[in-house]
Amino acid sequence: MSKNFVFSFNKKNKRTRSATEIFQDTLQLVMHNDILSIEFNLVEDRKGYGAQFVPVDELEQVSAILVNARDNGIANETEQLSTAQILKKSLIETEKGEIRFKTEDTKGKKPTVCKDQGDFNEFVDTFMSVLPAMQSEIQRVQGELSKMKATDSDTEE
């Protein structure tokens, strides 16, 4: 009999093991979708949560993301993401080769679409070429807004 054998007559009091214990017991090297991968689980006895597969070629990148999350924190699912985070999370290439992304994470918000990678690359090139002019105009408008706020606060006194 194993040294970790536990039997409880009280079925409502299930013994819960830590994610580390479950990880160590379930970690295996497998072929998943014809790709050599590690497989593991972190939870047992919960419907809707299953094994995770990480292709061995991506192990270093996945490890870096996990370490970054451990060291710098994890976004709460109710936390408001920045526009840059939303863009990064949503930027995908579809099976048809279209590039899609959105800048708002609101429910039902539709992404914008570029017809292919070339179309996307041209958009990015154009965006970058007008960026200095946009930044200059933004600074001018921000200056005007600051003057308006200063004038408004002067008239309130």
**Between 13 and 20, whose confidence is greater?**
20
Residue 51 in tokens: 């094994």
pLDDT mean over 4-31? 75
Contact 39, 27 (CB under 8 A): yes
Which residues have C-beta within 8 Å of that of residue 80, sequence separation ≥ 6?
105
Whole-number average pLDDT of the chain:
85
Q: Where are the beta strands (DSSP E) in 103-143?
A: 112-114
Q: What is the C-alpha to C-alpha distance for residues 157 and 150, in angstroms, rounded to an integer?
A: 11
Look up the pTM and report it.
0.56
97, 113 in Cβ contact below 8 A? no
User: Closest Cα partner for 99 from 107, 109, 87?
Assistant: 87
pLDDT of 1 above 50: no
Query: Would you give the DSSP letter of residue 56?
Result: G
Tens of pLDDT, residues 101-110: 999 888 888 9
Whether the Cβ atoms of residue 120 and residue 99 lie closer than 8 Å to each other: yes
Could you read off the pLDDT of 32-62 as tens digits, one per residue? 999 999 999 988 877 777 889 999 999 999 8
